[in-house]
Structure 1
């Protein structure tokens, strides 16, 4: 898993060592910092992921704890209380995206659902992908734009699903087909709203125009 911090340094999750590796813009190695406390075991998991929010806080998706864990500067869990409540509200947190105000989206891989949480940690609503979209989605990445729209990469469906702030599906961007496959595995949204999508089959990145239909 990777992310870019405020200094434009590239952060890489090293699951084997349970550490975060940092590289500068030229690709030079800067430092390695191990996770501490209960976060270390979570970071070594095969499905471990991390998210960097707009304020620079690093969050670890803990599949064992079924939690979205904020980390302090020492990579220790920043609090002891649970973020996801009630305890059975999520089965397997695989992906997350965090808005500037603290609200967040989490993809539950066990239930094939998207969950939206308030900044307090309260579950606002859940979207079951089997009923919200025409075919069951297999999400590989999430990203939020400046308008609050959630972009979800559906690797199996070769498409990008776009959800509004109320959970409604507002757009579907098909990227490939049977003859010309393009299965999205990662996406990022630039300052101008352009959506960059990396595919699994080819060393290629597609750049899409933004969808601007967010509701107030």
Structure 2
């Protein structure tokens, strides 16, 4: 599927999977509005995408722990477009360590603020632009850590808490926004491989039953969900963990 008529917002797109999303969705024709915690990081990805011949890409700074920064990001996007067709909540700080006492109070606050509060405030700030679209989709990259009973990650308890909050938020949004035509889609991947989207490995890495989940498959899931007819509400993607 092509995304030539889609205007897409992606949080935390300065590196890792956020960068992968920005590059691949731009390659599919989407106009991309990407953010990173620093403007320099966002601009690096913007320039990468422009170097691939895709000029419809915009870079913004957005600190998901700062409500004013989130509002400024939304206002900046609104200055360039009157609608957003796809909002991808990708941003959430990862915190490692299965010992609750291993992290500082500041790290715990930052982790929960970016993943939980940041996601809620991002949706709140961008909802007017989403509702201006005739095909609004809201995607959240949750994580298997947001699934009830999951315990196989070495992530810190605070990361589990943030992801559980995202999952609960997406659950209620899917009910309350459906009457307005907004499809709320959540992905719950375990750890996955993220080959460089600019490398040949992206297209050639094996994706067999015994292989680890890849970022390419996650992008394919998102594109598949948003390409469905508007009466098809795919609520979530859950994945077996190898």
Same fold (TM over 0.5): no
The one of the two structures with greater contact order (alpha-carbon pairs below 8 A, sep at least 6) is 2
TM-score (norm 1): 0.26
* Greater fraction of residues in helix: 2
The structure where strand makes up a greater share of residues is 1
